[in-house]
Structure 1
Amino acid sequence: MVEPIGSRRPPYLANLPFFMKIFILLLLGRNVVSHCKISRCNSAYLAATENIQGPKQNASLCEALRSYSVCTRRTARTCRGNLAYHSAVYGIEDLMIQNNCSKEGPTLPPRPIQPGPNQPGFASPDICDYEKSFARLHGGSPAYRHCAAFGDPHVRTFSDEFHTCRVEGSWPLLDNHYLFVQATSSPIVEGSYATGITQLTVIFKNMKECVDEKIYQAEAGDLPAAFIDGSVNGGERPGGSSLTLHERTSGRHVEIHAAYIGTTIAVRQAARHLSFSIQAAEQVAFSFTDEQDLQLCVFGCPSDQRVSRSACCPQRGNVTPEVARRLCKEKLEVDDVYFQSCVFDVMVSGDANMTQAAQGALEDAKAFHPDPKNIHIFQMDKGLRLCSSSFFHSLLVVLVLELGL
């Protein structure tokens, strides 16, 4: 029987037993938990093996399987308990055995986020405009992700998970092919377990078609209106204007627009500390290798760096729980995670100005989050009255903040 056009199966599937064909179709399914990105690995594998044929068929398949394996390891933290993830891991191992693939060896090169000058579809006016390039190649608009770090610090990840962290010292918020962002934190007050961001370093890596490498560095009390070389754009490259720095409020709020990678970053001064927010094209946010596995925006805070469930909100000075709630209510109307973070920050610091951190983070979320309905995704029951004078309520605050309830 002649197969319809477009239905021909790749040769490496043709001779598999029926149950294995069903298994592969299931593991390539895209109905997975939203936080787990195994569907991205499945799609990349399917695309890589769609047209495998010829004398190097087996070698190419093994490269694709090793790349598939690397991708699943990268998403392991967010896919625990996900059936599609565990099916993929099992399926990869089985297919590697069937095709005599070694676990060590070459993998597929990463796919570029934009076409280069020698690739089909290249159009020089678009190469340094991510949205135009994406629309020309794929149609429509790219997907975006939002991450923020503010206050204690509290971290909202690209997957809308929420952690309150210790992270004293320097920790990477982002570390991918295009961006490196590092935050340095120190105790909010002497002897406190709570820390705040005192320094931020943002590195836009060299992209030869568009921009020179540019570094932005801010310290608490010093929010520059330029990159460290004194410039406010991407340099002398043809696409230098696709990276621009803008001072929104002198000494308080800076925005950096990187059109060539579909990214916008906001850095704010809040009380005596810094805040960071980003909107990044999804393809950029997740463009990293297996070795780049420590990124607070991607994986959240390591479990040993999250605020202990048994410690919260010691009163400092005259800032009682009631006072903290009243101060935060003046800045934040919704009793969501930003409001509870505000209460937490004001109480652990004793500083009424710490309300600025949550307020600025919420403003950035409204501007940067791709889904307005999910800005208040952590909204809590109106009946809860958190951070009261009782130990139980103080403990409950940390549980809500740490678990993202």
Structure 2
Amino acid sequence: MGMAAPAACGNHSHTTWNHIILVIAMVLIFSAPSVYAQCRILRCNSEFVAATLEMGVTGGREGSNARYCSALRSYALCTQRTARACRGDLAYHSAVQGIEDLLIQHRCPKTGPTAQPRPLPQAPLSEDGCVYEKGRAPDYLHCGVFGDPHIRTFNDEFQTCAVQGAWPLIDNKYMYIQATSTPTRGSSYSTVLTKITVIFKNSRECAELQIYQAELDNVPPAFVDGSMTSGDRRGHQSLRIHSHDPGKYVEIRATHIGTTLLVRQVGPSLSLSVRSPRAIVESYTPEQDLQLCVWGCPVSQRLEMPPAHLSTAAYAHCSSLLPVRDVYFQSCLFDLQVTGNLNSSASAVAALEDARAMISDPERVHLLTARAGNTTPTLPVVLAMSVLTETLRRAVSVPV
């Protein structure tokens, strides 16, 4: 899967984005919980990260550099407002220096318009407070991303994406989720999920902006700021992380929007499963026009999954783990075909487990397609599929 998130400006956009992430990561790492009550640098950092991530999704359009410079000036203004409280704080001084560097790098005037404050989204909450489910029975939707990677959308469509890079999975009023895939070792066409970034946006009085990030071999049991809960209101936490398997599997609950996220590492790949009410999923604007969990992969980056020719042992392996010939069985065969590693089947098994936990109607769990039949495939297409995938990768992986 992949989209190199379009950068904000100029010919140095790819380098710029890496620089931004490095600067912000350093700032967040050195932010100490003891100064949160006085020094508001973490909020400045989070607002800038959220602004540039969203800008990255639509970057490259006319005016993006001006908007990026406005975001930088807003970041600088935020740090100025908290300067007195942050005196002597390493995170604050790192942020100030990073802003100076970026203003110079992008030739941004230090004076000029700043980004207009975005109104806080008004969550469709019940009168009972920051618990979405109270007093209502939401229509829940499910999205799963796993394997090479494969996507089951909120609309129960199933696709496989062909290209490496970073893509937005969800982008609405309440959360932004981005996934990154990279080529598997020794392969120029097979990819796996290696990074997942989740941003919970400010939601009225129930939750402040919070960030979670998982990478391959590092699925932390906490948000970026080190906390495991957030949005404390009258003894209730709107956001909570629970680690089921330290470093490998976490569950994130956002009760104020009735949403549950499961982040796993299964073998050499990450996976994500989401359960969210329809009203939350559909709370986006026309500008938020790229969401893989909503519309799936762009047509140019979809990879058809042709019938596979596998050894009897490989076919029997997937059949023993996934007896129903659904999209999860199909994914198991596909991943075995492109990796040659029997362990790659584990991602499809875990994704099916998550789907069972998140879909209330058992009849909807096993998503069937015309190609997920009961007949053993016989056409050898490993080479053809490899050529197709490599062609697609080259066609859309245009240097920035």
- Does the Cα contact within 8 Å between 1:210 and 1:260 map onto a contact in 2? yes
**What amino acid is aligned across from residue 114 of structure 1 in structure 2?**
P
Return the alpha-carbon distance in structure 1 between the equivalents of residues 332 and 193 of structure 2: 15
- Does the Cα contact within 8 Å between 2:160 and 2:304 map onto a contact in 1? no
Shift of 1:290: 0.2
**What amino acid is aligned across from residue 181 of structure 1 in structure 2?**
I
Residue 378 of structure 1 pairs with residue 374 of structure 2: no
Percent identical pairs in the alignment equals 45
Task: Sort the Cα spacing of 1:239 and 1:344 in 2 relative to 1 into closer, same or farther, 3 A.
Answer: farther
Shift of 1:114: 2.2
Q: 1:335 aligns with which of 325, 329, 335?
A: 325
Q: 2:163 aligns with which of 136, 145, 167?
A: 167
- Does the Cα contact within 8 Å between 2:251 and 2:261 map onto a contact in 1? yes
Task: Sort the Cα spacing of 1:257 and 1:179 in 2 relative to 1 into closer, same or farther, 3 A.
Answer: same
Matches within 5 A, 1:123-134: 123=127, 126-132=128-134
Secondary structure at the aligned position of 2:262 is classed as strand
- Does the Cα contact within 8 Å between 1:169 and 1:186 map onto a contact in 2? yes
Return the alpha-carbon distance in structure 2 between the equivalents of residues 205 and 239 of structure 1: 21
**What amino acid is aligned across from residue 376 of structure 2 in structure 1?**
R
Return the alpha-carbon distance in structure 1 between the equivalents of residues 171 and 382 of structure 2: 38
Return the alpha-carbon distance in structure 2 between the equivalents of residues 278 and 394 of structure 1: 33
**Residues 325-373 of structure 1, C-alpha deviations (whole Å, 9 max, x = no match):** 2222232221111011011112211221111100110011001124221
Return the alpha-carbon distance in structure 2 between the equivalents of residues 324 and 361 of structure 1: 19
Shift of 1:235: 4.3
Matches within 5 A, 1:186-197: 186-197=182-193
**What amino acid is aligned across from residue 213 of structure 1 in structure 2?**
L
Matches within 5 A, 1:275-286: 275-286=271-282
**What amino acid is aligned across from residue 195 of structure 1 in structure 2?**
T
**Residues 243-289 of structure 1, C-alpha deviations (whole Å, 9 max, x = no match):** 11011122221110111101000011011010000000110011000
Residue 222 of structure 1 pairs with residue 218 of structure 2: yes
Residue 350 of structure 1 pairs with residue 340 of structure 2: yes
Matches within 5 A, 1:65-214: 112-114=122-124, 123=127, 126-132=128-134, 135=135, 140-214=136-210
Task: Sort the Cα spacing of 1:327 and 1:394 in 2 relative to 1 into closer, same or farther, 3 A.
Answer: farther
**What amino acid is aligned across from residue 124 of structure 2 in structure 1?**
Q
TM, length-normalised to structure 2: 0.62
Larger-gyration structure (1/2): 1
Task: Sort the Cα spacing of 1:355 and 1:243 in 2 relative to 1 into closer, same or farther, 3 A.
Answer: same
Task: Sort the Cα spacing of 1:165 and 1:321 in 2 relative to 1 into closer, same or farther, 3 A.
Answer: farther
Shift of 1:220: 0.9
Unaligned 5+ segments in structure 2 are 1-118, 389-400
Task: Sort the Cα spacing of 1:369 and 1:210 in 2 relative to 1 into closer, same or farther, 3 A.
Answer: same
TM, length-normalised to structure 1: 0.61
Task: Sort the Cα spacing of 1:141 and 1:336 in 2 relative to 1 into closer, same or farther, 3 A.
Answer: same
Return the alpha-carbon distance in structure 2 between the equivalents of residues 111 and 183 of structure 1: 24
Return the alpha-carbon distance in structure 2 between the equivalents of residues 392 and 195 of structure 1: 16
**What amino acid is aligned across from residue 131 of structure 1 in structure 2?**
E
Task: Sort the Cα spacing of 1:288 and 1:382 in 2 relative to 1 into closer, same or farther, 3 A.
Answer: closer
Return the alpha-carbon distance in structure 1 between the equivalents of residues 355 and 367 of structure 2: 11
- Does the Cα contact within 8 Å between 2:254 and 2:260 map onto a contact in 1? yes
- Does the Cα contact within 8 Å between 1:128 and 1:239 map onto a contact in 2? no
Shift of 1:190: 3.3
Secondary structure at the aligned position of 1:242 is classed as strand
Return the alpha-carbon distance in structure 2 between the equivalents of residues 255 and 353 of structure 1: 23
Shift of 1:391: 3.5
Secondary structure at the aligned position of 1:323 is classed as helix
- Does the Cα contact within 8 Å between 1:172 and 1:181 map onto a contact in 2? yes
Return the alpha-carbon distance in structure 2 between the equivalents of residues 227 and 381 of structure 1: 38
Shift of 1:112: 4.2
**Residues 286-332 of structure 1, C-alpha deviations (whole Å, 9 max, x = no match):** 100001010000010000011156x786x9xxxx4423222222322
Return the alpha-carbon distance in structure 2 between the equivalents of residues 239 and 283 of structure 1: 26
Q: 1:305 aligns with which of 281, 301, 304?
A: 301
**What amino acid is aligned across from residue 285 of structure 1 in structure 2?**
V
Q: Where does residue 254 of structure 2 map in the other structure? A: 258
Task: Sort the Cα spacing of 1:110 and 1:241 in 2 relative to 1 into closer, same or farther, 3 A.
Answer: closer
Q: 2:357 aligns with which of 367, 372, 378?
A: 367
Task: Sort the Cα spacing of 1:292 and 1:382 in 2 relative to 1 into closer, same or farther, 3 A.
Answer: closer
Return the alpha-carbon distance in structure 2 between the equivalents of residues 374 and 171 of structure 1: 26
Shift of 1:211: 1.6
- Does the Cα contact within 8 Å between 1:181 and 1:202 map onto a contact in 2? yes
Task: Sort the Cα spacing of 1:219 and 1:343 in 2 relative to 1 into closer, same or farther, 3 A.
Answer: same
Return the alpha-carbon distance in structure 2 between the equivalents of residues 330 and 209 of structure 1: 49
Question: Which structure is higher in RCO with an 8 Å CA cutoff and minimum separation 6?
Answer: 2
Secondary structure at the aligned position of 1:359 is classed as helix
Superposed CA RMSD in Å reads: 2.7
- Does the Cα contact within 8 Å between 1:180 and 1:203 map onto a contact in 2? yes
